[in-house]
Amino acid sequence: MSTQDDIELPETLSYHDWAAAVREDRLLGQSCEECSHVGGVPSGACQQCGSRDLTTVELPTEGTVHTETTINVPPEGFEERGYQVAVVTLGDARVMVRIEGEHVDIGDDVVLSGFIDTDEDHPAPTFETAD
């Protein structure tokens, strides 16, 4: 039995669970019991130490830009002009997200703004500049 908050979190985070959370404007990650690394995408093992002892955690939806880049050659299906992606620091995790609206720079505060469906059943969280 989990006693974490009032939100039921899956013990093992699957992509399906992660994607379902994104559609509800929530971000889930995994905290490593061995080294405390927090990952922002579902994985079978810790990306830092390889441990499989991972606990699902809820990530904050506000953070700061760690790195950013503009994709100028979008894959098929995206709009034609470039778009910006960023690695954002959310609590103890770093997550790659799509940026909407204004261009962001490293260190900017950003907040979860929703998600886009890049293709069927693959929602990608989007962030925008925090007010």
Point out which residues bind Zn ion (CB under 5 A).
32, 34-35, 37, 46, 48-49, 51
Sequence-separated (6 or more) residues with CB below 8 Å from residue 124: 22, 97, 98, 115, 116, 117, 118
Nearer Cβ to Zn ion (23/52): 52
Nearer Cβ to Zn ion (34/102): 34
Least separation in angstroms between CB 52 and Zn ion:
9
Least separation in angstroms between CB 92 and Zn ion:
12
Tokens coding 123 = 């929602």
Least separation in angstroms between CB 54 and Zn ion:
8
Least separation in angstroms between CB 123 and Zn ion:
26
Nearer Cβ to Zn ion (55/61): 55
**Burial level of 63, CB count in 10 A (0-12/13-18/19+)?**
buried
Mapped onto helix, strand or coil, the DSSP state of residue 46 is coil
Nearer Cβ to Zn ion (44/107): 44
CB 106 within 8 A of CB 65: yes
Chain CA centroid to CA 47, Å? 15
Question: Residue 17: what residue type?
Answer: D
